[in-house]
Structure 1
């Protein structure tokens, strides 16, 4: 429909992992923007990359964006492909809802209360047992769909229609809609340039009339925009390196642990050597070289993928400079 499947070396999600830094900003900003978030794209980039909260903006807006970042990383960097199951969707909600719910205990839980939808006369199911049953049925149907585009659109429609959670349902659906693309190494859907009101109108068509036509048009247009952008980025990046994808989690974790230690150069060498024991013998030398190279290339603008805070980075720099 849009582009060919692009699996390499048996590793799923390789494309999204290679464009992760760009995806974190694009999808976090656009999905938050569709919820009325007031951060600009530059504000979002500074928050994600440097932890800098924009002046004059609410902490709720900052929390929403950081929650998106964590949820996207949860999907993209998982050691096993995420699928349409309770674990993935419930934890996706918990990550997206952190610090934003009136009832914090509702994060990652199917609701047991009735909810309403602002601007709509539609009333979602209110009986807890029916909500649970329908939620499981949606996941089962989504899992049975083979076409990744149909599977994505199914999630985008049915999760918010059910409203399985007390709040944050559309955000869950937008990120869950990326699961098929991540698993098939297709370009992710980041809702670039989608007007907020157009998206709202598409959802209202679903809520009020059980009509998906407008939302389908939005979905197709948005995916084409996303695919074109990431195709250009992919071309710029060149072909992904299977070695770096295979050991990405271990590389990121090792670099992050060195900085968070904070470890000097001698202790860092010991940690890197010990982690190298967990990789294939033929790859150990390259693993050590890769981690050491990434440590030497660290600066305040590229620490986000390692889950390193600016304060941690500054503290580590002082220790590292002493040898």
Structure 2
């Protein structure tokens, strides 16, 4: 089946552009609607431009300054261009390499810096929010609904997922899977949602340790690995990196030792951006899991930002090929400059999105914030006891735990949350779809009245 890269190659190799009809001749296995969707994606990412109308509409490749995978708007240093020149060679021209433990050992937290002082100041200036002095996680909780959609979509897109952002919103907000998409793509989006909620909801205790990392991977990997036993645990076998001459460690004990050293160093780093970038560099390089290492690193890279009430790094508009090349620079050369330049550009794009919507953010309901754990626990208990009258159960819990002057409002909040309950928010309450279905069979009127 043709991919967007196949289409892009066809368009770029044509000196005079191609019409849709001409593209379909060159890609005979591609359905017309699929081609239109892929072309729209290439246009959105600045890789293709369209000229003309209707049947005369022609598509032209955009010439970039350095590489097809790096749009000209991403500024690259001379070091980054050197990395690209090497990575863009055919694989047979690049030297096979294994994991270099010295790369990790040479990093001294708060002495070694992947991000210069000027870069860190720039990132802090871009990402500063009004909640900077509030308790950890205040900002990420305030923007959670938007964050779930943006980060789930963009991170999945970097893995080749073809869900649109609108598809993702429908799935996350209303539990509606997009038509024509594979079950794997739907699962990937939902797993991102669960993993992001895991970080945000546990922000007070979440650290860059084995527990957080393993559970983060488990959430992202659920129902996606050939062997479910690989979910949330260090891999027990060798892996290959597609289109790369890099060969990661294969012995479990060596992986375990390197992972322990990696996390020990990460937790000593004081600056949240340096800590974030360190995880984006070293976690995929080590490849501690059977698969889904890069996804895990992208979410782990957000944890320091969540804790510091900084804007998140959503990876919106990051081209897949740019990210892949930057990662190969780390894998095959143990050089971070290309990934660093992409990280800074991607963070600026993220902050532009979130600072632009600041004025649209509703202030968190102080009562809902104060009693959030109680509300979640009460809803969980109601669903897990379908034989008990829900309104009576809520009234009893509220009467026992909530001050009298707040009981009526908290009671109303819980009832409203219960009426809005659907599959897309179940992880928030620690519930499974089967448990919700069992409850709904007995209490369907509760959903509509």
The normalised TM-score by structure 2 is 0.64
Alpha-carbon distance, 1:55 to partner: 2.0
CA deviation string 1:213-258 (max 9, x = no partner): 1111111111122122222333212444454334323323434554
* Pair 1:78-2:199 in alignment: no
Preserved contact between residue 248 and residue 285 of structure 2 (Cα < 8 Å): yes
What are the Cα deviations for residues 146-204 of structure 1, in whole angstroms up to 9, with x where unaligned? 11111100111100000001111001000100110111111111111111111111101
Q: Which residue matches 1:320? A: 446
Retained in 2: the 8 A contact 1:122–1:207? yes
- Residue of 205, 227, 243 corresponding to 1:119: 243
Residue by residue over 1:13-33, the C-alpha shift from the partner in whole angstroms, topping out at 9 and shown as x without a partner, is 121112211111111111111
Structure 1 range deviating more: 56-65 or 252-261 = 252-261
Bigger RCO (CA 8 Å, 6+ sep): 1
Question: Is 1:222 aligned to residue 346 of structure 2?
Answer: yes
Aligned-partner Cα distance in 2 for 1:286–1:8: 29
Name the structure 2 match of 1:250: 374
Partner of 1:27: 151
Post-superposition offset of 1:48: 1.8
Distance 1:9 1:260 in 2: 38
Of 299, 305, 313, the residue aligned with 1:181 is 305
Name the counterpart of 1:290.
Answer: 413
Structure 1 consecutive aligned stretches of length 4 or more whose deviation exceeds 6 Å: 299-302
Asked whether the equivalents of residues 17 and 245 of structure 1 are also in contact (C-alpha less than 8 Å), the reply is no
Aligned twin of 2:315: 191
Q: 2:393 matched to which residue of 1?
A: 270
Larger Rg: 2
C-alpha distance after superposition, 1:241-297 (max 9, x if no partner): 454334323323434554675589x6324324315634567755543343245456x
Q: Secondary structure at the match of 1:28?
A: helix
Structure 1 residue 35: Cα displacement: 0.6
SS at match of 2:246: coil
Any unmatched runs of 5+ in structure 2?
1-123
- Partner residue, 1:128: 252
Task: Mark the runs of 5 or more structure 1 residues left unpaired by the alignment.
Answer: none
Instruction: Quote the Cα distance in structure 1 between the aligned partners of 2:192 and 2:238.
Output: 25
Other-structure match for 2:280 = 156
Sort the Cα spacing of 1:62 and 1:169 in 2 relative to 1 into closer, same or farther, 3 A. same
Q: Distance in 2 between matches of 1:49 and 1:313?
A: 20
- Equivalent residues, number: 321
C-alpha distance in 1 between matches for 2:416 and 2:195: 28
Aligned CA distance change for structure 1 residues 282 and 202 (closer, same or farther; 3 Å): farther
Change in 2 beyond 3 A, CA 1:263/1:226 = farther
TM-score by length of 1: 0.87
Partner of 1:277, secondary structure, is helix
Q: RMSD of the TM alignment (CA)?
A: 3.0
Closer, same or farther: CA 36–321 of 1 in aligned 2, 3 Å: closer
CA contact (8 A) 1:259 1:308 kept: no
